[in-house]
Structure 1
Amino acid sequence: MFRLLQLNATDPQTLQQELQQQLPEPVNLLIATGNVASLQALGGLERPQQFAANWIACSSCIGAASSFGVDTATDRRLTLLALTDPAGSYGVASVRQISGQISQQAADTVLAAMAMAKRSGELPGLIWCMQAPGFEEQIISGIQQVVGDQVPILGGSAADDDVSGQWCQYDGTTLGSDLLVIAVLYPTVPVSSYFSSGYSSGKFSGVVTAVSDRNIMQIDGEPALQVYNRWLLGAGLAPLQPGVVMSQSTFHPIGRQLSARDVPFSLLSLPTNVGDDGSIRLLAELQVGDEISLMHGSKEQLVRRAAHVVQVAANNLRLRHDTAPAAALIVYCAGCMLAVRDEIHQVQQSLTSSLPGLPYLVAFTYGEQGCFADGFNRHGNLMISAVLFGHTK
Structure 2
Amino acid sequence: MSDHALVGVSTLTSTKARRGVGTGEGPDARLATEKALGEALRPLEGQQPDLILVYASVRYDLPTVLKTVNAAAGSAVVAGATSSGQLQSGRLTEPGDGVAVLALAGGGYRFGLGHATGLQADATSAGRALARAALDAAGPVRSPHEAVLIFSDGLAGDQQELLNGIHKVTGFQIPVIGGAAADDRRLAETFVFAGDRVLRDAAVAIWIGSDRPLRVVGGHGWRPTSLPLMLSGVEGQIVKELGGRPALEVFWENFRPRGGPDTTLYERAGGYHSEHAFGLIQPDGSLLIRGAFIDADGKLRTFSPMPPYSAVQVVSCEPDDLLEVGEQVVESVVGDEEPAVVLVFDCVARLDILGKRGHEEARRLQEAAGGAPTFGYYTYGEFARTTGVAGYHNATIAAMAL
Q: Give yes or no for TM over 0.5.
A: yes
- Are residues 218 and 236 of structure 1, via their aligned partners in 2, closer, same or farther at CA, if it must alter by over 3 Å? farther
Q: Distance in 2 between matches of 1:54 and 1:233?
A: 46
Q: CA deviation at 1:327?
A: 2.0
Greater CA drift, 41-50 or 237-246: 237-246
Paired AA for residue 312 in structure 2:
I
Aligned to 2:136: 115
Paired AA for residue 367 in structure 2:
S
Q: Does 1:27 align with 2:46?
A: no
Q: CA deviation at 1:119?
A: 3.4
Q: Distance in 2 between matches of 1:149 and 1:326?
A: 26
- Are residues 273 and 121 of structure 1, via their aligned partners in 2, closer, same or farther at CA, if it must alter by over 3 Å? farther
Q: Does 1:288 align with 2:308?
A: yes
Q: Distance in 1 between matches of 2:170 and 2:141?
A: 11
Q: Is contact 1:39–1:168 with CA below 8 Å preserved after alignment? A: no
Alignment of 1:1-393 (within 5 A): 1-8=17-24, 10-12=28-30, 15=33, 19=37, 22=42, 24-37=46-59, 40=62, 41-45=64-68, 47-48=70-71, 50-61=73-84, 63-67=85-89, 69-73=91-95, 75-76=97-98, 78-85=99-106, 87-119=108-140, 125-133=146-154, 134=156, 135-232=158-255, 238=261, 249-260=273-284, 264-274=285-295, 276=297, 279-315=299-335, 318=336, 323-371=337-385, 374-389=387-402
- Are residues 167 and 302 of structure 1, via their aligned partners in 2, closer, same or farther at CA, if it must alter by over 3 Å? same
Q: CA deviation at 1:87?
A: 4.4
Q: CA deviation at 1:348?
A: 1.3
Q: CA deviation at 1:38?
A: 5.1
Q: Distance in 2 between matches of 1:103 and 1:252?
A: 29
- Are residues 36 and 162 of structure 1, via their aligned partners in 2, closer, same or farther at CA, if it must alter by over 3 Å? same
Q: Is contact 1:59–1:159 with CA below 8 Å preserved after alignment? A: yes
Q: Distance in 1 between matches of 2:69 and 2:362?
A: 33
- Are residues 43 and 283 of structure 1, via their aligned partners in 2, closer, same or farther at CA, if it must alter by over 3 Å? same
TM-score using structure 1 length: 0.85
Task: Output one character per residue of 1:67-111: Cα deviation in whole Å (capped at 9) or x when no partner.
Answer: 1511135643x2222222374321111122342222112211211
Q: Distance in 2 between matches of 1:234 and 1:180?
A: 35
Paired AA for residue 188 in structure 1:
D
Secondary structure of the 1:4 match is: strand
Q: Is contact 2:347–2:381 with CA below 8 Å preserved after alignment? A: yes
List runs of 5+ in structure 2 lacking aligned partners.
1-16
Task: Output one character per residue of 1:240-275: Cα deviation in whole Å (capped at 9) or x when no partner.
Answer: 969988665311111112253xxx321111113347
Identity %: 18
Secondary structure of the 2:174 match is: coil
Q: Distance in 2 between matches of 1:5 and 1:311?
A: 20
Q: Distance in 2 between matches of 1:236 and 1:205?
A: 26
Secondary structure of the 2:116 match is: strand
- Are residues 234 and 164 of structure 1, via their aligned partners in 2, closer, same or farther at CA, if it must alter by over 3 Å? closer
Q: Is contact 1:244–1:273 with CA below 8 Å preserved after alignment? A: no
- Are residues 337 and 46 of structure 1, via their aligned partners in 2, closer, same or farther at CA, if it must alter by over 3 Å? closer
Q: CA deviation at 1:346?
A: 1.0
Q: Is contact 1:169–1:176 with CA below 8 Å preserved after alignment? A: yes
- Are residues 114 and 39 of structure 1, via their aligned partners in 2, closer, same or farther at CA, if it must alter by over 3 Å? farther
TM-score using structure 2 length: 0.83
Q: Distance in 2 between matches of 1:217 and 1:210?
A: 5
Q: Distance in 2 between matches of 1:87 and 1:356?
A: 21
Q: CA RMSD in A?
A: 3.1
Q: How many residues align?
A: 376
Q: Is contact 1:197–1:266 with CA below 8 Å preserved after alignment? A: no
Q: Distance in 1 between matches of 2:19 and 2:69?
A: 22
Paired AA for residue 310 in structure 1:
V
Q: CA deviation at 1:198?
A: 1.5
Q: Distance in 2 between matches of 1:184 and 1:224?
A: 41
Secondary structure of the 2:225 match is: strand
Q: Distance in 2 between matches of 1:377 and 1:2?
A: 33
Task: Output one character per residue of 1:14-52: Cα deviation in whole Å (capped at 9) or x when no partner.
Answer: 635874764644311112213223572424337447445
Question: Which aligned runs of 4 or more in structure 1 are off by greater than 6 angstroms?
Answer: 120-124, 233-236, 239-245
Paired AA for residue 51 in structure 2:
L
Q: Distance in 1 between matches of 2:212 and 2:61?
A: 29
Q: Is contact 2:118–2:126 with CA below 8 Å preserved after alignment? A: yes
